[in-house]
Amino acid sequence: MDEVLAKRERKLAGLAAGQHGVVCVAQLYGLGFTKDEVWKRAQTGRLGRIHRGVYAVGHAGLGNEGRWLAAVLACGEGAVLSHRSAADLWRLLPPLRQPPHVTIPTRAGRARRPGIHLHRSPSLPAAATTTRNGIVVTTPARTIADLRRVVDGPTLRRAVRQAEVLGYGLDEVATDGTRSELEYRFLRLCRRHRLPPPAVNVAIGGFVVDFLWSRERLIVETDGYRFHRGRAAFEIDHARQLALEQLGYRVRRFTHRQVVAEPKNVAAAVRAALLAASSS
């Protein structure tokens, strides 16, 4: 191998290492490889074709980030990772093995890209995109907005909560402050039964309580089985309740089954507790 070719190979290895193992044909030409040299490398397995014009260098097995970047490169200038794949990259949802979602800023171009969920958005502003781990991707706020079209309600709410936990700015994305699907269901129960709206996830005496009616000094805690099972959780819950009661609050607890299967009974119990507190 002559020195010129060896230099190209080193540059190619460095480029691929910084791009999760993938390169596009334009980058190969930019390094000085000819069309014939690219073709020969593809034929001998030194370049593994992922999409048209996009290759894995030296191997065909890619991680998620390699697959996502390959899809973005395949869709051309202005393409960004988006929707469910962007949510995976931002760690808003558990990774899901599926064809990458990519948005391009135009309505023109090929109708389909094999192996890619292609979306078109000619109005995609630059402020709605950024770069994460070397991949051009929609911002967390734009990702949440896009998710509304491709996932169900509980999954969307999970992504929003995770974005809040991770401290991502959500701009104008409306949030209700809940931290779990059970809390969301209880808050919806309050609205449907026309209960006074509680404050959500409020800090009191070193604790964060699920729901608070401050004037009535009433706290409601919703106990999902996942986080409230076992003797240790039982002891913690009761110690917490005792401490809150010593601070002068009334505490009512409702299980997942009660909130989901007996919403009228739960609403009636909360209403009665609010009336009792107001008259005392």
H-helix or E-strand spanning residue 137? strand 135-138
Q: Does some domain include residue 174?
A: no
The letter for the amino acid at 166 is L
pLDDT of residue 178: 80
* Same domain, yes or no: 258 and 193: yes
Domain count, the chain: 3
In a domain, 176, yes or no: no
In a domain? residue 240: yes
Model-wide pTM > 0.75? no
- The pLDDT assigned to 249 comes to 93
Domain that holds residue 31: 3-57
108 in the same domain as 52:
no
Q: What is the percent of the chain with per-residue pLDDT over 70, rounded to a whole number?
A: 90
Span 141-168, pLDDT tens digits: 999 999 988 899 889 988 988 888 888 8
Same domain, 47 and 74: no
C-beta separation of 140 from 163 below 8 A: yes
pLDDT class of 172 with cuts at 50, 70, 90: low
Predicted pLDDT at 108: 67
Alpha carbons 148 and 133: distance in angstroms, whole number: 24
Residue 91 · residue 162 · CB < 8 Å: yes
- Same domain? 40 vs 131: no
Mean pLDDT of 33-44: 89
Is residue 262 a part of any domain in this protein? Answer: yes
Render pLDDT for 1-16 as a digit per residue (tens, 0 to 9): 577 777 888 898 899 8
- Strands 54-57 vs 22-24: parallel, antiparallel or unpaired: antiparallel
Taking the C-alpha atoms of residue 152 and residue 149, their distance in angstroms, rounded to an integer, is: 8
Split at pLDDT 50, 70, 90, the class of 126 is: confident
Give the pLDDT confidence score for residue 146 in this predicted structure: 93
pLDDT digits (tens, 9 = 90+) for 218-261: 999 998 655 545 455 566 667 888 899 899 999 999 999 999 99
62 occurs within a structural domain = no
